[in-house]
Homo-oligomer: A and B are copies of this chain.
């Protein structure tokens, strides 16, 4: 059927269901959604169940928009006129994708007004649908810039969403029924995640990352399965770590022109980390695989979905993200193929234990036949101490160092581990397990933390409650001090005993090096590794016992500071949690593929799962294709 006929048919169906007095001016696919344009969005909204009924009957995600939206500049003036000044509006963000206006305010209640009276006034005056959020406690320049950028290209983006919408809702023409997965990277290795899910109708690329420590190893993007890139329907990002998202912008350079689906925090963190990746490559005098222009292309083509939202991303494929517990916004990507034909989940990286920031990964799905699961700690001896034990060891080392008037350096990745360590330190001080010293944050950590506080709904309930109900935002604790100048860095180095949390996590550059050079000769200080140190990194060498650092000019720096490793802050499930995850999978899948781990770990995990649960397992190699059904 022609897409125009299809839209007309949908419009007729909708007209038949809406009560008299509501006029439908237009019906259009925009991205994965069916948008109903009406002159009476408020009347529509009053019919509380109407949208739900339409969504169920038409089997589409429905969005209702006013036919005419007030011009944003005028709307701002009108909103400011209606909302009392003491609301403390800090930002107003118009999202033309959704027809919503996001109002950030110190006091959301004042913006809402008595029984929502102020909100209704805003709708009446501007036609935009207002959403109110508390002003994030720490402002993220990334989030601000991403929003500004998307606003600046709103017309182009609308056209893009319509094109994609029509493509998603095209007719299914193939007669064959099969589902295949091709491994383009990340098999029997950690890094360059890239998996291609294909049906006779559609092609979906899941992740497209770099291989850390190997500038030349990209996923196998040149094989015919994925050529030309314009034949790919959608890219789906599980999370923002570079081994999963670094090369997404490259796809646009090579001809991809479709959507990239992720959660909202993943979109913002990915852009932040991609830009940082370009910086690091440049500093290493490497060839940048793409420029910030392609990062913009990525943002232009990004479509965000929240956990649990079932979304058409191809004529025969629905995607749902579920919490993966690994980092902010990390998701298990669940695909429902065909009309009940097949269900397959890609875990991305996941943590099956509760952490200070996140709930454990979701392990229940409406349906499930196959799982591609990470195996970073899949080896039978890859056990991590419990989080509490790890924290106690951290406290112990910090106490010992501060007592002897030393300073603690904790190298950490900006996203994930840093925030976990911050929360542990904050609670340690609040509960008087460690002395109340300053915790200096250097590198990208502050910005990453700010993004965390922009998306409180992606943190676990305890932390969210602590922040909003108890008003105790641990990220805002006064112990934390951002270091944003060389002068301050020097002051820190010459100052009181303290803790310094800084990037890079594996001592491969970044501000941590300055601290290390300055603090290494003093045996009172301590360097604490809280994360995995990859082979070949400077961090690994120190961990193995090197005690001399070549400084150029034939000088060497003798390392005298204490070096400690505290395991247990990992964002990954350890072996026991991986097995536990499989044990709790609902429903029990037919097949499990172990990926994202070294050869030994993936094979060991695959064979242990088979032995214990009698589920068919595979430890695939790169460049293989498996038939699911």
Interface residues of A (CB under 8 A from B): 176, 178, 180, 182, 200, 220, 222, 224-227, 231, 621-627
Contacts and interface: CB of A to CB of B under 8 A. Distances in A.
A178 B623 contact: yes
Given A224-B224, A225-B225, A627 B624 contact: yes
Please give the count of copies of this chain that the complex contains: 2
Contact of A227 (B178, B224, B625): B224
A18 to B, nearest CB: 43
Given A224-B224, A225-B225, A624 B624 contact: yes
Contact of A627 (B226, B623, B627): B623
Contact of A625 (B200, B222, B625): B625
A498 to B, nearest CB: 49
A157 B273 CA distance: 57
Nearest to A227: B224
A494 B463 CA distance: 97
* Closest CB pairs A-B (n = 4): A625-B625, A621-B627, A623-B627, A624-B627
Given A176-B220, A178-B623, A624-B627, 14 more contacts: A180-B623, A182-B625, A200-B222, A224-B226, A224-B227, A224-B231, A225-B225, A225-B625, A621-B627, A622-B627, A624-B624, A624-B625, A624-B626, A625-B625
Contacts of A182: 625
Nearest to A622: B627
A624 B620 CA distance: 12
A334 B178 CA distance: 31
A231 B625 CA distance: 20
A231 B223 CA distance: 12
Contacts of A176: 220
B623 A623 contact: no
A451 to B, nearest CB: 37
Contacts of A624: 180, 624-627
Contacts of A627: 621-624
Contacts of A621: 627
Nearest to A176: B220
Contacts of A226: 224
A368 B226 CA distance: 31
Nearest to A623: B627
A553 B461 CA distance: 80
A121 to B, nearest CB: 55
5 contacts: A224-B226, A224-B231, A225-B625, A621-B627, A623-B625
Contacts of A222: 200
A513 to B, nearest CB: 33
A219 to B, nearest CB: 12
Contacts of A231: 224
A493 to B, nearest CB: 45
A227 B227 CA distance: 9
A222 B231 CA distance: 14
Nearest to A629: B621
Contacts of A623: 178, 180, 625, 627
A530 to B, nearest CB: 36
Nearest to A179: B623
Contacts of A220: 176
A196 to B, nearest CB: 10
Contacts of A625: 182, 225, 623-625
A247 to B, nearest CB: 16
Contacts of A224: 224-227, 231
Interface centre among A180, A222, A227, A625 (most CB of B within 10 A): A625
A229 to B, nearest CB: 11
A621 B622 CA distance: 18
